Amino acid sequence: MSSLNRRQFMQTGGAVALTVVIGAPPRAAYADDAAGPNAYLRIEADGRITAILPTSEMGQGTHTGQLMILGEELGVDPAAIRVEMPLRPSDPYRLSFGQMRSVGSFGIRSWYEPLRKAAAQARTVLLAAASERWGIPANELTALDGHVVQKNGDRRLGFGELVEAAAALPLSDDPPLRPDSERHITGHPVPRVDTPAKVDGTAVFGTDVDVPGMLHGAVRMSPVFGAEVAGFDEDSVAGFPGVAAVVPVPNGVVVVADTWWRAKRAADALDIRFTDTANDSLSSVELSKAMLDGLAGEVPPVMRRGEAAARLRDSAKTVEATYEVPFLTHVCMEPLVCTAHTREDDVELWMPTQGHDIVRMTVERVLGFANERMTLHTTYLGGGFGRKTHGEIAEQAMLASRAAGRPVKVMWAREDDVQQGYYRPIMTARLRGGLDADGRIAAMHIQLSGPQMGQTFEHVTVRNNTDFFSVASLVDQPYTEHFALDHRHLDVPMPLSPWRAVSSSQNGYFLEAFLDELAEAAGQDPVEFRRAHYASHPRHLAVLDRVAAMSKWEQPLPEGHHRGVAVVASYGSVVAQAVTLRMEGGKPVVQQVHVAIDCGRAINPDSVEAQMQGSVIEGLAAALRHEVPIADGRAQRRNFDDYAPLRIDEAPAIAVEVVETGAPLGGVGEPGIPPLAPALVNALFSATGKRVRRLPVAEQQS
């Protein structure tokens, strides 16, 4: 931290609270740019403490977790810290790959150290300031509940009273951190700071932004992926009340009106034509065939470890199976939305985004404005799941605002959200495994065929015929040292996206369902078979043992009940799940899911439990019935009637336990998804004797 910034800190100490945000509704977390004592904390002379947090709150409780880390180290109740987010991306808020994004289950694991250090820096200068004022050595003082207090005495001063003196002191790059014995906030369940606003209707999501003079935009986009607008007749909506503009945007238009309902009615009625494309007859059948064809002959190699080919050839027994997963979409409860006010020299955006630097790049590309000319207010996200990482909604809102000359809030209808892509990729996998004479895995060869997920992002490079996204949870499989992995890329016209645990959710299914096929060939129990392979993977073993104990795996189930298990490592954590189901009218009814997670250390155990509960519900809906089939180049799903998340009467009982093995912090938002599908199909095999090698399950039963 430079002395200039510290001077700013002193000068603006009280003034920053006066920042006016036009139209800011109550409890919005809109940030000011003033810094101090560092990028993540602002302490004002009136004692107010504000955290400027690097990631969005989209439901995982990340803000609360980050406040716990700051509060514990600083010496203040996390609930007493106000939350803001920076108004544009800059280095302190960027992840190691150089972008500010709320992705990859990084919210806690990547920010724990920087936030802890920031709070320790602030605490250290506050203690030093008090030490100087009182003439008492700093090591006889401590920070508690927003005050510096004398350990064995009655001296006590609020942080605010020390701010001016503390701001003049140099900040240490290596401040002393509180010892473990003083960590009494992290590791304990703490109520989420965003809950009160989310139960009384005052929480401001992207849909709820209200800027004076604002108009509303609804979209009409090409139903065929890859098509562009060939023309539209503005007169066709001339008689529609309230319509202010029809604005061309990439592959569609935004209709702007004084209410969203009026905009939507006009957008639906607009006479619009789209270009013909090479995709006009594209279908899922064709895509599936192309992926399977991609596995013929030699598939481009990704990695070779040990002597996979020779050992497979010499195995006592080999097993081969081909699996496939469909496109999935995100259906965030809050559809894509962005409010933009494009002015001559700058642009102001209010949006629920996971991709702050992607929005910045979109502004640069569309308007030619550098970062400094963008002001980005981050609202709560009504779900993200990877979908809100992209910039197309910001582009639509900026163009609509520029055309209308006023702020415009563009919101997609549910049908737009389901049909306009950024899907989890399709993928086909052929797996071959060899067993030795003792029934242990001698070698595996896995071949993927399908689109590279990373093609969506500029910063992801393709190496050895794949990108790091597409092979997640395979390159580090725990089962054999003799391993070969291939990937044949397939170009598809649909935009692709991270989707909660994206490739790990696909590869975890392939690998862990296939593991049960190998266990069956070896004549072994699925838990015993895995255990025998986890000798050098203590985290896998620990969560497997825990979930076996939780589900009483050794004990027989009641008549008609069936069980399956799976273990997947992803995002730095390892999760085991056991699914218990019974069949009713030929369909599975999932009754109980047991979950054990090793995420290093649970910062807020209550949030970890919530994320595992939510992952089970989402993973189950996806595995049971979700897919976006393609026909005539268009998505064949539209709304919650044909793409239905799980409902309350379908929700199984879920038991969650955290296992701590001393591993580094791992992610929590995503790792609960990958084991669910394989545990489910493994249980289904026990019930039906049939392997489910293509998801969703429902398709196999129709």
Determine the Cα–Cα distance for residues 427 and 79; give it in Å rounded to an integer. Answer: 44
Provide the minimum distance between the beta carbon of 65 and another protein in the complex, in angstroms, as a whole number: 13
* Beta carbon nearer to another protein, 532 or 610: 610
* Beta carbon nearer to another protein, 238 or 285: 238
Measured at the CA of 14, the angle between CA 11 and CA 15, to 5 degrees, comes to 75
Residue with tokens 């599936």: 288
* Beta carbon nearer to another protein, 616 or 692: 616
Provide the minimum distance between the beta carbon of 649 and another protein in the complex, in angstroms, as a whole number: 4
Provide the minimum distance between the beta carbon of 281 and another protein in the complex, in angstroms, as a whole number: 29
Provide the minimum distance between the beta carbon of 564 and another protein in the complex, in angstroms, as a whole number: 20
Q: What residues make contact with another protein under the rule CB under 8 A?
A: 25, 58-61, 191-192, 194-205, 207-208, 210, 216, 241, 258-262, 331-335, 380-384, 411, 413-414, 606, 610, 613-618, 639-641, 644-649, 651, 653-654
DSSP letter string over 80-128? GEEEEB-SS--GGG--TTS--B--TT-TTTTTHHHHHHHHHHHHHHHHH
Determine the Cα–Cα distance for residues 377 and 355; give it in Å rounded to an integer. Answer: 12
Provide the minimum distance between the beta carbon of 607 and another protein in the complex, in angstroms, as a whole number: 8
Which pairing describes strands 49-52 and 81-84: parallel, antiparallel, or unpaired?
parallel
* Beta carbon nearer to another protein, 269 or 644: 644
- Residue 375 is given by DSSP the state E
Determine the Cα–Cα distance for residues 615 and 617; give it in Å rounded to an integer. Answer: 5
3-state secondary structure of 555: coil
Sorted by sequence, the CB contacts under 8 Å of residue 285 that are 6+ apart come out as none
Provide the edge-to-edge strand list for the sheet that holds 156-158: 141-144, 147-150, 156-158
Provide the minimum distance between the beta carbon of 397 and another protein in the complex, in angstroms, as a whole number: 16
CA torsion, ordered 440, 441, 443, 449, to nearest 10 deg? 170
Phi–psi pair at 302, nearest 5 degrees: -105, -50
Provide the minimum distance between the beta carbon of 223 and another protein in the complex, in angstroms, as a whole number: 18
* Beta carbon nearer to another protein, 406 or 488: 406
Provide the minimum distance between the beta carbon of 295 and another protein in the complex, in angstroms, as a whole number: 34
* Beta carbon nearer to another protein, 196 or 560: 196
Determine the Cα–Cα distance for residues 243 and 384; give it in Å rounded to an integer. Answer: 30
DSSP lists the bridge partners of residue 206 as none
Determine the Cα–Cα distance for residues 469 and 97; give it in Å rounded to an integer. Answer: 14
| Region at 571 (left for phi over 0; alpha for psi -120 to 50; beta for the rest) | left
* Beta carbon nearer to another protein, 254 or 490: 254
* Beta carbon nearer to another protein, 644 or 698: 644
Provide the minimum distance between the beta carbon of 343 and another protein in the complex, in angstroms, as a whole number: 23
- Radius of gyration of the chain from its Cα atoms, rounded to whole angstroms: 27
Structure tokens at 11: 């000068």
Residue 532, judged by CB atoms within 10 A of its CB (0-12, 13-18, 19+), counts as middle
3-state secondary structure of 410: strand
* Beta carbon nearer to another protein, 344 or 649: 649
* Beta carbon nearer to another protein, 303 or 610: 610
Provide the minimum distance between the beta carbon of 218 and another protein in the complex, in angstroms, as a whole number: 11
